[in-house]
Amino acid sequence: MKALILVGGFGKRLRPYTEKVPKPLVPVGGKPILLWQIEWLKRNGVDEVILATGYLKEKVFELIGSGKKYGIKVAYVVEDEPLGTGGGIKNAEALLKDEEFFFAMNGDIITDIPLEKLKNVLLESPEIVGVLSLVPLPSPYGIVEFDEKSGLIKKFIEKPLLKDYWINAGVYCFRPEIFKYLPEKGDIEKTAFVKLAEEGKLKAVTFENTLWKAIDTHKDIEECERLLKEYNLL
C-alpha cells in the first residue's frame, strides 16, 4: 500500500525550529514528526511512502534517503513553489494514478488512526472517491460546569474533546479519480472536497478514542508529548 505525506510546510509559528528544518522534521519527544508518521504507516501495512517536498527539501532527503534504514520504500516529488494541499497531492499524480487506492495525509500530525477503517469504507462504496478521518474538536481551554440556578460550581474539566463537533484530521483514503478534482495549485479543503461533497462522493469516518494531535505551535509539542505518554508511545 502507498501513502503520500505533504512535507513541504514552512511552519512559521514553530520558529526558530523551522528556520533550519521543514515543519515535519520538528522533533516531538526526541523524534521528528515525519518519523512518527512513518512508524505509524508501517504498523498499518503501508510499504511505500511518497514525500511531497518543498521548503528545505534537502533536509528531508538527508534524513530519510531511500527509506531503507527505516524499513520502507520512499519516493519524492518536489514543489518548485508552494502548491497548497490540493496542488501538493496533484503533483504526485504520476506516482499514484494506477493504484486502486492510496492514503494521503498532512505532514504535521501525530496520530494512531487505524487506516484499515478508512480503506474498508472506500472499497465498500464504489461511488465514493474519498474518505476523510474526523476527530472530536479539542477545546483550547478548560471548561467549567455549574448549576445554572444556584450558580454553584460543580467541576472543572481541563481542555475536553467537544464531541458535538468534528474536525478534519488530515488523514485521507482516495481512489485515483481524486486527481480529476484536484487543482494545480490550491487547498484540497476549498476545492476538491467542496465539489466531491456536492456530488455525494465523499464520506467521513469518525475516531473518538485515538491519538491525534496537529503540531502548529510550541505549545502543541508539549501537549503531543503528554498524549504520547498517555498512549504509552513515549
Backbone dihedral angles phi then psi of residue 33, each to the nearest 5 degrees:
-50, -45
Residues 6+ apart with CB under 8 A from 57: 8, 22, 76, 78
Closest to 173 measured CA to CA, from 110, 97, 231, 117: 117
Provide the angle, in degrees to the nearest 10, between the axes of the packed helices 33-43 and 57-64: 50
For residues 130 and 196, give the distance between their C-alpha atoms in angstroms, rounded to a whole number.
Answer: 8
Neighbours of 158 (CB within 10 A): 8
Query: Is 107:9 a contact under the CB 8 Å cutoff?
Result: yes
Q: What is the sign of the dihedral through the CA atoms of 28, 72, 5 and 185?
A: positive
Residue-wise DSSP of 73-102 = EEEEEE-SS--HHHHHHHTTHHHHTTSS-E
3-state SS class at 53: strand
Q: What is the sign of the dihedral through the CA atoms of 220, 29, 171 and 98?
A: positive
Annotated catalytic residue 159: yes
Which of 12, 31, 97, 159 is the catalytic position? 159
Closest to 113 measured CA to CA, from 136, 138, 92: 136
Active site residues: 159
